[in-house]
Amino acid sequence: MTAGEKVIEDKVKTSPEKSSITNLLDTVKEETGSGKVLVHNKKVEEQETDTKLEAKITAKTTETPKGVVRLELSLNILDINKIDLEYSVSKKARKNYFILTMAKKLAVFDFDHTIINDNSDIMAMNMVDRKYIPKEVKDLHKTDGWTVFMQKVFEILYQNNVKEDAVNQLMMNLPAVAGMTELIKELKQNYNYDVIVISDSNSHFIRTWLGANDLSKYISEVFTNPAKFENGMLKIQMYHFQENCKLSTKNLCKGQVLEEFVDNKKKQDIYYEKVVYCGDGLHDFCPILKLSENDVACVRDKYKLLDLVMKAQNGQYLDEDGVVKNLKCDVCVWNTGYDILDFLKPKNDDCVV
Ligand SMILES: [Mg+2]
Ligand SMILES: [Zn+2]
């Protein structure tokens, strides 16, 4: 190491991370990986005049399996001794970098037939003999929407003496799709994902299931039709009312929910560099069409959503106005949660901080 290198190394080392390293790394971030920046150290600046380093910085980041970023900075110092210096920042500085610039990722899960292997509403409905559900009730979801239909079903359950406890027991014991609980935990704990659920089931069923399966703490938010037991009967409401989106039900446009969620996060300075959407049904198509090139649609094999996604991927999907709707995102076709995990795993795993 030459004297010049030593000086620069000391300056970077002694600099308070919040000023110099933060500034440096902010600039790296702004200039997406490289650029000419001014590295300065407030502490030294007060005593000396020549402590500003003009440097060209190249930052190479590698994601590790634990979701941590390994950062290598090459500083090409331009105004002090014209030295090229390979400099690996200290662990502490790496941590700062991680906090500053590790954009988060978002995983969105449908609930029925995606997290759990059944449809929770149908399972609840099956608690009474179908003969108790008259045709005019069965037709309600076509005319008045799914939540109106389910409210009638819950009334019929109540009239047939199906108790709250029995409903809760049924929900708690619905089996997960293989690998889904592992996937959710891994994404949250080791891959820097926020996890949310957007579902046309209801809050009571989903909360009950997540609680019983020890998953509540991994899921930031659940967007669904609000429901709760009142005097022994389940009362359900629409999540919202919309008529703009023809791909979605009136009570829930999952695409709109997703967009609003991401926009709200932006207002809190949280940017998702990747959105992963996992689903199986026709109503999962709307949010998937809104995904970008960085995102991934995880589509359950042999379920209805797959045909639509395939069509859109091949440029053969026309919207109601006859306009071709192309898919921008990547597609992962899955049978289990493990398939999704394999797809999302960083390909370069050999780098550990
Ligand atoms: Mg579903
Ligand atoms: Zn929609």
Do residues 115 and 180 lie in contact, with contact meaning Cβ atoms separated by under 8 Å? yes
Ligand 1 geometric centre to CA of 66 (Å): 29
In a domain, 51, yes or no: yes
Domain finish residue from 83, 102, 121: 102
Same domain, 248 and 114: yes
Ligand 1 geometric centre to CA of 62 (Å): 34
CA distances from 89 to 21, 57, 64 (A): 9, 12, 17
* Residue among 123, 134, 125, 66 nearest 98 (CA): 66
* Residue among 253, 259, 286 nearest 275 (CA): 259
Q: What is the pLDDT of residue 33?
A: 34
Same domain, 72 and 154: no
- The pLDDT tens digits for 65-82 are 544 444 444 444 443 332
Calculate the average pLDDT of the chain. Answer: 77
Tell me the CATH number at 214: 3.40.50.1000
Domain count, the chain: 2
Same domain, 46 and 163: no
DSSP 3-state of 209: helix
Q: Which ligand is nearest to the CA of 198?
A: 1
Q: Which amino acid is at 61?
A: T
Ligand 2 geometric centre to CA of 249 (Å): 7
Same domain, 316 and 278: yes
Examine the pLDDT at 47 and tell me if it is beyond 80. no
Over residues 262-289, the mean pLDDT reads: 91
Over residues 331-348, the mean pLDDT reads: 90
Do residues 224 and 206 lie in contact, with contact meaning Cβ atoms separated by under 8 Å? yes
CA distance 275 to 295: 5
In a domain, 350, yes or no: no
Would you state the structure tokens that stand for residue 126, as one six-digit string? 């099956």
Q: What is the pLDDT of residue 172?
A: 98
Same domain, 21 and 120: no
Q: Which ligand is nearest to the CA of 305?
A: 1
Same domain, 237 and 127: yes
Same domain, 76 and 150: no
- Confidence category of residue 273, pLDDT binned at 50, 70, 90: confident
- The pLDDT tens digits for 192-215 are 899 999 999 999 999 999 999 999
Q: What is the pLDDT of residue 81?
A: 31
Q: What is the pLDDT of residue 347?
A: 61
Examine the pLDDT at 84 and tell me if it is beyond 70. no
CA distance 264 to 261: 5
Examine the pLDDT at 314 and tell me if it is beyond 70. yes
DSSP 3-state of 246: coil
Residue 8 belongs to domain spanning: 3-102
Same domain, 110 and 254: yes
Q: Which of 152-156, 230-234, 283-287, 322-326 has the lowest average pLDDT?
A: 322-326
Same domain, 59 and 152: no
Domain finish residue from 53, 72, 102: 102
Would you state the structure tokens that stand for residue 315, as one six-digit string? 């440029």
In a domain, 349, yes or no: no
Examine the pLDDT at 54 and tell me if it is beyond 50. no
CA distance 59 to 34: 6
Q: Which amino acid is at 113?
A: H
Examine the pLDDT at 40 and tell me if it is beyond 90. no
Can you say how many angstroms the Cα of residue 39 is from the centroid of all Cα atoms in its chain?
35
Do residues 70 and 40 lie in contact, with contact meaning Cβ atoms separated by under 8 Å? no
Q: Which ligand is nearest to the CA of 250?
A: 2
Pick 260 or 41 by higher pLDDT.
Answer: 260
Q: Which of 30-44, 87-101, 211-225 has the highest mean pLDDT?
A: 211-225
Do residues 327 and 289 lie in contact, with contact meaning Cβ atoms separated by under 8 Å? yes
- The pLDDT tens digits for 2-34 are 333 333 334 444 433 333 444 444 444 443 333
Q: What is the pLDDT of residue 268?
A: 75
In a domain, 153, yes or no: yes
In a domain, 41, yes or no: yes
Same domain, 260 and 181: yes
Ligand 2 ion: residues within 5 Å (CB): 245, 247-248, 253, 255, 286
Domain finish residue from 56, 81, 102: 102
CA distance 108 to 278: 6
Ligand 1 geometric centre to CA of 280 (Å): 5
Would you state the structure tokens that stand for residue 1, as one six-digit string? 């190491």
- Tell me the sheet residues that pair with 300: 334
Examine the pLDDT at 303 and tell me if it is beyond 50. yes
Q: Which residues have a catalytic role annotated?
A: 110, 112
Phi–psi pair at 257, nearest 5 degrees: -60, -45
Q: What is the pLDDT of residue 343?
A: 96
In a domain, 335, yes or no: yes
pTM equals 0.73
Same domain, 43 and 123: no
Share of the chain above pLDDT 90, in %: 57
Same domain, 28 and 78: yes
CA distance 345 to 37: 33
Examine the pLDDT at 59 and tell me if it is beyond 50. no
- The pLDDT tens digits for 154-170 are 999 999 999 999 999 99
- Tell me the sheet residues that pair with 54: 38
Ligand 1 geometric centre to CA of 116 (Å): 9
In a domain, 195, yes or no: yes
